[in-house]
A and B are shown apart, each in its own frame.
Chain A
């Protein structure tokens, strides 16, 4: 368990955050630029002094201003991947990795070979750091941070300086890190698609404070999130369980709640976790069992809540048996269908609008 509760005044800006992360897990510090994400991470790392507060990782107290405990950054054993990589220019890639390995203390849970393989660094080892592409630099930076055998890994917008293509190149490495090493991570980002792919928990920040926090499933339904990611990105995120392949269509069958979805994704063994995002704007609501439709996915449930989304539309929350989804429909549709809490409803979603992200190491939380 990572516990963070810190405050810091920086000129006119005030940071006052409190959050927890069950370990292992990946918590995303998510929020608009300038909301204090990096400041919070720097305090956790020990690079910035907090005015007051407490940081504890499992049984180890790293900072407690009341008890006057403040472990120096170099003795916190917290890995840090900076936005700008910060590789040592006077050392080559191998030198950068060795730098971390030489200073690692305690149990070594990841070897140089393992890092080399996991991050595909083999061909880069003898390169100088200025001969690396942006994506390669970040991979080396991640490897270097890992080789210090950290008990916690902080990643401060590691993909922000990369273009879309390079981001797609690095993201799978981060996913395999999460799945293979189970090192707890704090991932700072203002890109929701990264959060969607990596995080188990979200801490939503706005102008220096935490406005909401929780597991990604419940947070995907949080209305604070909508104001940050915009109405079009709103939608339930559900970690479903793969049931198997649908032979006729070649799609993967995934159980979400009591229902079943067919998702286009690489073949996955039954029983693994597949994260699916059901965008509210892609969901059609019906009050009767739908028939004669091309839609492959049909989830039965009951309306639990109707909230105002904007002037023209409502967000309909539907319980599909152990999971919640949201649909955005126009207010006139709400009226005509006479939707109200408790009413039965069928949610329809086209398979082509679903994208699955594998989450093998983590079951639904």
Chain B
């Protein structure tokens, strides 16, 4: 990365690291949430649906604030995490990953859900008659067929995680090298007098990243479609 300044490459690698962690955190619960919302009928399903979608309609700053209340050092979950596992979320990149994960969660669930709804339940029935139990069916039929949805969800969530600003800055602040991701660095550059050039470079970097992500996801989707013959 010779053409990037140290602070730029720091923000870039931090962004990628936060987004990767964010996707890794949220993928399993997103699969579970999508599966419950598509396949189960129970009282409170609408409420769960609303809860999952909440980050889409709440101001990101409000989400960050709620995270602060819950996962802060004196927060309900945060104090417990620190005491039992020594995990500190506030002012750390793991905290940033948590904030972006919460924000991009609805996008991920949505993508997985659409794909799950399109899977022919008859294939799972066929697997059943061949002797496959519930877990076996999920692992060998549902999950492979869900791959396009998982990919779409992961890539959308990854891109959203790269760009998340409000929730991150509220929850884990803007610490260079720890929580200052690309959008935060861009914001900081704009705050400094004469920082327009730095800001423009960071904006261009974000553009390249976003475009690359989109092209990559399209290429993946095509490959998967070819394998499944659709």
Contact = CB atoms under 8 A, between A and B. Distances in A.
B129 A79 contact: yes
Contact of B129 (A73, A88, A90): A73
A144 interface: yes
A86 B130 contact: no
Nearest to B226: A128
Contacts, number: 72
Contacts of B122: 82, 84, 86
A223 B126 CA distance: 37
B13 interface: no
Interface stretch (B38-46, B137-145, B166-174): B137-145
Interface residues of A, number: 30
A74 B128 contact: yes
Contacts of B228: 89-90, 130
Contacts of A289: none
B130 A148 contact: yes
A3 to B, nearest CB: 20
Given A84-B122, A86-B122, A131 B229 contact: yes
Range, interface on chain B: 20 to 34
A75 interface: yes
B227 A90 contact: yes
Interface stretch (A100-108, A243-251, A271-279): A100-108
A99 B130 contact: yes
B116 to A, nearest CB: 15
B123 interface: yes
A178 interface: no
A54 to B, nearest CB: 20
Interface string B207-230: 000000000000000000001111
Interface of B: 120, 122-123, 125-133, 136, 140-141, 144-145, 147, 227-230
Interface of A: 45-47, 72-80, 82, 84, 86, 88-90, 99-100, 103-105, 128-131, 144-145, 148
Among all A-B residue pairs, the 3 with the closest Cβ atoms: A130-B229, A103-B131, A80-B129
Given A79-B130, A89-B230, 16 more contacts: A46-B128, A74-B133, A77-B131, A80-B126, A80-B129, A89-B145, A90-B228, A99-B132, A103-B131, A104-B131, A129-B229, A130-B230, A131-B229, A144-B130, A145-B129, A148-B129
